[in-house]
Amino acid sequence: MKQINPMNRIIIISILFLGVFKPAINAQTSEIKYKDVFKVVSLGNEAKSYEILLQYQKQDPFHANTYYHLGKITKKWAKNYDPLTDYENLAYFTYHAKLYCNLALKYLNEKNAKKDRYYYPDLKPLEGVKRVTHQQIYQELIESKQEVEDFEKTINNIRVNYYGAVRNYNKSLTGFKAIADKNSKLKDIYLTADEKLISEIKNIAISYDSTLYFFDIYKKAIADYPIMKYNQTYTLIPIETYRLEGLTKSNFLNNKISLWNYRQWSDTVLAVINNDIKELRIDIELEGKKIDSLTNILNLDLYTGNYDYYNLDEKLAYRIGRFDFQPLILDLFNYKASKLNLVIDSKKPINNPANINDSTMVFRNKLAFYKTLIEKKQQSDANLITLKNNITPFNILKYEDYLSTNINGKRGLSDCVDHEPENIKKILDASMQNLKKIIATEELSDILNRKKIAQKDGDIPLSILFSELSGEGYDSYYTSSKILDNNGDKYITGYYVQSDKNTQAFVAKCDSLLNLAWIQKIDYSPNKKNLINNFGTFINLTEKGCITTIHTRDTTGGKLLIQNWLVRLDADGKTVSKDSIGPNLVPRIMVFDDINQKVISVYKGAELNKFTSNMDTLIVEYADSSGQSIWQTPLVINGDIVNVLRSNDKVILAANYTELFYNGELKKPQNSKAGAMLAIFNNEGSIINIKTYSESYPFYMTHAVKLDSETINLVGVKTDSKDLFDVINNSKIQVYYNLIDTKGEINYKY
């Protein structure tokens, strides 16, 4: 039910009273006699008394006793109102109580005091005096007036301090809510705290302190002058969960009040800002300078292996993470560190153009280095994308000082993410030019190698003929294949062209100083009348020596007769075994698996030139160590073999091709004259898949190298010319580079 305001209640009662009482009086006389008024007052009904006194006051505005009783009633009524919730009525009756006291004093005199002495029933004659005197009435009015004024002063003091507490607490609450509305996480406050925000946090604490100051004065005031049933006490509640606590109002009218401890919250936040965050910003500045300084040093033309990869300070990253869930500054530092590590790799001696001809490092290890370099570049690209995606005005604001000082703020950061992709690409491009030279040099090193093994009927060259099994002179040795063992000794196979006889194959061994240990010439001619040509083609190491493929061909009968042999020799050059192997085609590659005692060979065509432009049958064979075929799988291809690889339970053939006939379909490169291909075989010799690779530009694959159990590196040059001499110093020719998995899927393409 709706409550009726006390003042309204008085007015309602007055109206009802006038509706009953006034007609009754008017029915008797046109004027009210004061003795009748006093009878009503004597009955003690304050509402009726108040109304009839007001009516009489209009009839006789100079009657002091009327004002005396009006003052008593209004003073009592004023004290009955709640000074905190109904101050309007309290102030109204307090004002009128003072007014009536003053009017009573104004119109009080000896005459009316004597005349109306019976109308002051609450005053008793002084001792020794028969009647209430004028002076006694006057003194009563003075004291009553003072009481009202003291009451008014006390109430105002109570209200000033009470509402001072309420007002300041609400200022703290409003300030706290405003900060919470702008900052969804407490961590955001720490990192975005500028002078304005710090001032706002301080003002929350100041207002909170004022709350307690005013409230304590208020408590003392109501202790001295109790009002109603108020006896408030407060409990301070810590703000422990940001945005869940500290947002609700407190009712100061309750005797038990819960106050959010904004001072404690402000002090805690400011302590973090002034200590942790200040120190953190100093360390961020130092970390950034370390990265930039080292990058500047390495950007000089200096190749060195003295620098380890740069790792961000983990403790610093953790400290930043305490205050920022997705810190833009860490994204920036992660990018800078990844770029620095790319630069560190690019400046290693292996990438020095001056070291391209270094033969002390295995070619596979060189390729592995460039794979690592590419991974560093990819990491830089990924980190740059992460940085770009995290750039927002709010995230920039958190690190505005550092960004403004070091990279020209928001504009510099935008320039960074726009231009850095090209900068890191340039680092990789320069390195890949070096790789191109390494690839060409690796191929040419066997051709350009002028070292020879001296022996009595002719020196054995270490240079390898690039394209075919045929010599240009007579009584000369030609090397087809060589391999280095763990002791630094070389095993070599090739052929010896005689001026008046057939060609003989040979296998030889020398030490690291090229001193010949032994040589064994091989001639599988049936007899001296039926001479055939013999070629040592490929050589591999075994546990106790070497194994080689000998290719023989007989043209004496007008018909080409081809046969291949698998020959095993011990470390002293003695033949351990000789077995027929493979189809009647030219062996293009042979790989020996010493652990499993298996031979993987690839045969193609009848011509000795490996760059034949004919569509020839190609056969991949998997055989045991005695040459017994386990499986043979044919393909028809126009191209040259690059390598054959073993990957777990698969055999992978890599080749260049211009035409490929498979599964009843003729395949050609889509956009270029020549393409690359992989044929993947299972353990039974079935082709699992054939993957072809073509580009919009001409290219030639020179190597297919297994870098690890999951990665194969296809490398070469982006030109259709096989003249690698031109490739080395032609900066317009780029490297062809693919990283693929063992299923033939491209993981990376340069």
pLDDT digits (tens, 9 = 90+) for 288-311: 999 999 999 988 878 888 999 999
* pLDDT-based confidence at residue 6 (cuts at 50, 70, 90): very low
CA 47 – CA 9 distance, rounded (Å): 10
* Of the candidate ranges 25-39, 565-579, 643-657, 672-686, the one whose mean pLDDT is the lowest: 25-39
Question: Do residues 103 and 240 share a domain?
Answer: yes
pLDDT at 25 over 60: no
* Of the candidate ranges 5-14, 54-63, 531-540, the one whose mean pLDDT is the lowest: 5-14
Mean pLDDT of 453-475: 80
Question: Do residues 94 and 198 share a domain?
Answer: yes
Q: Is residue 14 part of a domain?
A: no
Neighbours of 209 (CB within 10 A): 15
Dihedral pair phi/psi, residue 282, rounded to 5°: -65, -45
pLDDT at 235 over 70: yes
Question: Do residues 626 and 549 share a domain?
Answer: no
Q: Does residue 20 or residue 434 have the better pLDDT? A: 434
pLDDT of the residue at 72? 98
* pLDDT-based confidence at residue 466 (cuts at 50, 70, 90): low
Q: Is residue 34 part of a domain?
A: no
Write down the mean pLDDT value for the chain.
91
Q: Measuring CA to CA, which residue among 452, 553, 469, 567 is closest to residue 521? A: 567
Question: Do residues 403 and 467 share a domain?
Answer: no
Q: Is residue 603 part of a domain?
A: no
Question: Do residues 686 and 713 share a domain?
Answer: yes
Domain boundary among 423, 445, 467: 445
Question: Do residues 239 and 310 share a domain?
Answer: no
pLDDT at 58 over 80: yes
Mean pLDDT of 89-116: 97
Question: Do residues 434 and 485 share a domain?
Answer: no
Mean pLDDT of 379-392: 97
Who's near 277: CB < 8 A, 6+ residues apart?
A: 190, 191, 193, 323
Q: Which residues span the domain enclosing 73?
A: 62-260
Q: Measuring CA to CA, which residue among 3, 54, 56 is closest to residue 34? A: 56
* pLDDT-based confidence at residue 471 (cuts at 50, 70, 90): low
DSSP 275: I
pLDDT at 5 over 60: no
pLDDT of the residue at 11? 42
Q: Is residue 1 part of a domain?
A: no
pLDDT of the residue at 463? 87
pLDDT of the residue at 361? 75
CA 88 – CA 553 distance, rounded (Å): 125
Q: Is residue 748 part of a domain?
A: yes
pLDDT of the residue at 357? 72
Question: Do residues 532 and 437 share a domain?
Answer: no
Q: Measuring CA to CA, which residue among 501, 505, 483 is closest to residue 492? A: 483
Cα→Cα distances 720→74, 606, 675, 727, Å = 114, 24, 10, 11
Question: Do residues 502 and 551 share a domain?
Answer: yes
pLDDT of the residue at 686? 97
CA 658 – CA 667 distance, rounded (Å): 8
**Residue 391 · residue 399 · CB < 8 Å:** no
Residues above pLDDT 90, as percent of the chain: 79
Q: What is the pLDDT of residues 683-700, one digit of tens each?
A: 999 999 999 999 988 899
Q: Is residue 381 part of a domain?
A: yes
Q: Is residue 39 part of a domain?
A: no
pLDDT of the residue at 19? 39
Question: Do residues 122 and 211 share a domain?
Answer: yes
Residues above pLDDT 70, as percent of the chain: 94
Question: Do residues 565 and 672 share a domain?
Answer: no
pLDDT of the residue at 556? 74
pLDDT of the residue at 673? 81
Mean pLDDT of 268-289: 97
Number of structural domains found in the chain? 4
Dihedral pair phi/psi, residue 673, rounded to 5°: -65, -40
Q: Is residue 598 part of a domain?
A: no
Question: Do residues 637 and 699 share a domain?
Answer: yes
Q: What is the pLDDT of residues 536-570, one digit of tens each?
A: 999 999 999 999 999 999 877 677 889 999 999 99
Beta strands (DSSP E) in 456-574 are 460-461, 476-484, 490-497, 504-510, 516-522, 533-542, 545-554, 561-570
pLDDT of the residue at 108? 98
Counting Cα atoms < 13 Å in the Cβ hemisphere of 33 gives 6
pLDDT of the residue at 359? 66
* pLDDT-based confidence at residue 24 (cuts at 50, 70, 90): very low
* Of the candidate ranges 140-154, 198-212, 402-416, the one whose mean pLDDT is the lowest: 402-416
